[in-house]
Chain A
Amino acid sequence: MLTVFEVHQEEKKVIKIEESGEYLVKLVGSGADVEITGSFRAIGKEKTDVTVIIHHQAPHTRANTTLRGVGEDQATVRFVGRIKIDEKCGDTNSFLTERILLLSDDAKAEAIPDLEILSDDVKCSHAASISRIPAEHLFYLMSRGLTQKAAEALIVEGFLAL
């Protein structure tokens, strides 16, 4: 299922992605500005699979995309993000971040952040990371009297709050 968003000239838009699926965000007018966020928590045998394509079709556009996912139990988290900047789209800034936190040994993660850049006057970057909750973070909270479960819950809550 593909959901399409269009951001027009001088428009500012905030898009919140709430469920798995494919999303295409087109920045069609000069000065379009978009903030895309998505937080996901996959438990049991759930599969979270989110594809976001950010397509810059006009100059002077800006996009900031942040996807965060937590995988528990035997869940799978998959993020595919693609920034596409057409020719003659100068002065474009686009950033993509994919962060995945795994809570169990059986949880799986896949992160695919792509870039396709055909203009030169751009600032474009992406970052992806996949990790467990660092032991030090847990230790700190537990040394303050929290149980491990409570400490994990707190960290996950903080991680997903955007």
Chain B
Amino acid sequence: MARFAQKHTTKYDPKAANSYEHGYSFSTDKYSYITKPGIRREVVEEISHLKEEPEWMLELRLIAYDQFMAKVMPPWGADLSGINFDLIRYYLRPTDTQVKSWDEVPPEVKKTFDRLGIPEAERAVLAGVKAQYDSEVVYGSLKNVWAKDGVIFLSMDEGLKQYPDLVKEYFGKVIPSGDNKFSALNSAVWSGGSFVYVPKGVNVKMPLQTYFRINAEFAGQFERTLIIVDEGATVHYVEGCTAPNFSSYSLHSAVVEIFVKKGARCQYTTIQNWYKNIYNLVTKRAYVEEEGEMVWTDFNMGSKVTMKYPGFILAGKGAKGETLSMALAGAGQHQDTGSKAIHLAPHTSSTIVSKSISKDGGRTSYRGMVNVGPHAHDSKNTVICDALLLDSISRSDTYPVDRIFNSHVQIQHEATVSKIGDDQLFYLMSRGITEENARKMIVNGFVDDLIRKLPLEYAVEMNRLIEYEMEGSIG
């Protein structure tokens, strides 16, 4: 392996690091393996070769690479002109030793850790100082419980090695590589991510959490996640965490595919708090069969630009989909989020609830699509978008599309945009609450019904985080 790899490896070059514009240029000289910046056919071949992948995966990557090169950048949505694909390194394999030191972590990130009360051991991982969280002792026993029921929870790379047939059957089936430019990029250069299989009738009671995963790459630039929930099974998968996820990458482009079989249920929770220099462009979609249920809970607080529209294809009779989305945009941020509901079968129902908060010149957009196909009679859809603007320089948009090809349906859409009312503030302040606390209280109340859907420890951290973000926001 190393004999071939040698040809393309480079030593760390400080000059190249300086020209790494939108990245956070930490030294990357401790990586055991670095590809040259820029994407070429050879880079894709090399990644596949280094991972010792089966032939079909290499073919899939190469097709995806051609599609990526052929596709133009999306002409709609957020401003993506800051991305320079030639400056990005597409594959980094961290060494087992520490990559960065704690001193290099910016003070505001440390401060947030303090405020959220994150345990010391987790902090180091979250800040990217350690590649892995040493969770063997606490979570090792949990892993055994899952394994007894036949639940598979591995990194995508391990999943491909250990269960190649299962991966081949589902990989790229609900999000084909040609779906959009960034799904093509991810399919070409993916590494990391999770592979989850829950067998028939198994009810996984504890949420599966990415940072509990053992012996796996922590977070990747081009994560690829595949979740298969077999008939009658249930699972709750949690990705990310409330603490700022500190990363030296400048582009994060993940693909998440979920298969919900007959009568199964899957909840996928994302708490995205990337550092504020990152372009976060993610494609997520679930394929839901008869009587199945898919719930996306999607919280976006960090990143410079997020474009993410988790969707579900309700392909079986009586399937259900739900998206609960919350976005918070501060200075220089644009959260362009929403959801797609595709109804293909009769008696399907879906709900999309989106809450967004813009402050300090941030911009939030809801962009959604509801498509009811000709066979989806007696389907129901409700979309509710509420936006809160905290000052006069911020911006909020709503771009919904409803396409209905069957008339036996009930489709509703509602959206409101408002600010914190003077009368609301006056009421609270007349009860002796300071203006700052009154504002925090109103904002927390605004997002409360979504936060309640989170596991308890996340809900607590989320409330603290919102309070922290709100601090000093009195105009």
Among B392, B412, B415, B418, point to the contact of A123 (Cβ < 8 A). B418
13 contacting pairs across A/B (C-beta < 8 A): A88-B392, A102-B407, A105-B406, A111-B413, A114-B399, A117-B397, A122-B389, A123-B416, A124-B416, A124-B417, A124-B418, A127-B412, A131-B409
Complex CA–CA separation, A110 to B371 (angstroms): 9
A130 interface residue per 8 A CB criterion: yes
Question: Residues on A close to B: CB < 8 A?
Answer: 71, 87-88, 90, 102-132
Beta-carbon contact of A110 and B402 below 8 Å:
yes
Beta-carbon contact of A111 and B402 below 8 Å:
yes
Residue of A nearest to B364 (CB): A117
Residue of A nearest to B475 (CB): A120
Complex CA–CA separation, A105 to B407 (angstroms): 5
Beta-carbon contact of A117 and B410 below 8 Å:
no
Could you say which residues of chain B place their CB within 8 Å of the CB of A113?
398, 400, 413, 415
Could you say which residues of chain B place their CB within 8 Å of the CB of A112?
399-402
Residue of A nearest to B386 (CB): A125
Residue of B nearest to A78 (CB): B403
CB distance from A136 to the nearest CB of B (A): 13
Could you say which residues of chain B place their CB within 8 Å of the CB of A119?
389, 392
B459 interface residue per 8 A CB criterion: no
Beta-carbon contact of A115 and B398 below 8 Å:
yes
Complex CA–CA separation, A116 to B365 (angstroms): 9
Question: Residues on B close to A: CB < 8 A?
Answer: 387, 389-419
The prevalent SS among residues of B at the interface is: strand
Beta-carbon contact of B387 and A117 below 8 Å:
yes
CB distance from B24 to the nearest CB of A (A): 30
Beta-carbon contact of A115 and B402 below 8 Å:
no
A109-B404, A111-B402 as given contacts; A120 in contact with B392, CB under 8 Å: yes
A115-B396, A117-B417, A123-B418 as given contacts; A129 in contact with B403, CB under 8 Å: no
A113-B413, A117-B417, A120-B391 as given contacts; A130 in contact with B396, CB under 8 Å: no
Residue of B nearest to A89 (CB): B392
Could you say which residues of chain B place their CB within 8 Å of the CB of A105?
406-408
Interface centre among B391, B397, B415, B418 (most CB of A within 10 A): B415
Beta-carbon contact of B407 and A103 below 8 Å:
yes
Complex CA–CA separation, A113 to B392 (angstroms): 23
CB distance from B351 to the nearest CB of A (A): 15
Beta-carbon contact of B416 and A116 below 8 Å:
no
Complex CA–CA separation, A121 to B418 (angstroms): 7
Beta-carbon contact of A128 and B419 below 8 Å:
no
Could you say which residues of chain A place their CB within 8 Å of the CB of B408?
105, 132
Interface centre among B402, B410, B412, B416 (most CB of A within 10 A): B402
Could you say which residues of chain B place their CB within 8 Å of the CB of A111?
402, 411, 413
A120-B390, A131-B410 as given contacts; A110 in contact with B404, CB under 8 Å: yes
Complex CA–CA separation, A111 to B394 (angstroms): 27
Closest 9 CB pairs of A and B: A102-B407, A120-B389, A115-B398, A125-B416, A128-B413, A130-B411, A124-B417, A120-B419, A111-B402
CB distance from A2 to the nearest CB of B (A): 20
Complex CA–CA separation, A104 to B408 (angstroms): 9
Could you say which residues of chain B place their CB within 8 Å of the CB of A102?
404, 407
Beta-carbon contact of B414 and A125 below 8 Å:
yes
Among B402, B416, B417, point to the contact of A130 (Cβ < 8 A). B402
CB distance from A51 to the nearest CB of B (A): 13
Beta-carbon contact of A114 and B409 below 8 Å:
no
Residue of A nearest to B408 (CB): A132
A115-B417, A117-B417, A126-B415 as given contacts; A110 in contact with B410, CB under 8 Å: no
Among B387, B393, B397, B406, point to the contact of A114 (Cβ < 8 A). B397
Could you say which residues of chain A place their CB within 8 Å of the CB of B400?
112-114, 128
Could you say which residues of chain B place their CB within 8 Å of the CB of A122?
389, 417-419
Could you say which residues of chain A place their CB within 8 Å of the CB of B393?
87
Complex CA–CA separation, A112 to B392 (angstroms): 26
CB distance from A70 to the nearest CB of B (A): 11
Beta-carbon contact of A127 and B414 below 8 Å:
yes
CB distance from B391 to the nearest CB of A (A): 6
Beta-carbon contact of B392 and A104 below 8 Å:
no
Could you say which residues of chain B place their CB within 8 Å of the CB of A106?
407
Could you say which residues of chain B place their CB within 8 Å of the CB of A108?
404-405
Complex CA–CA separation, A127 to B384 (angstroms): 9
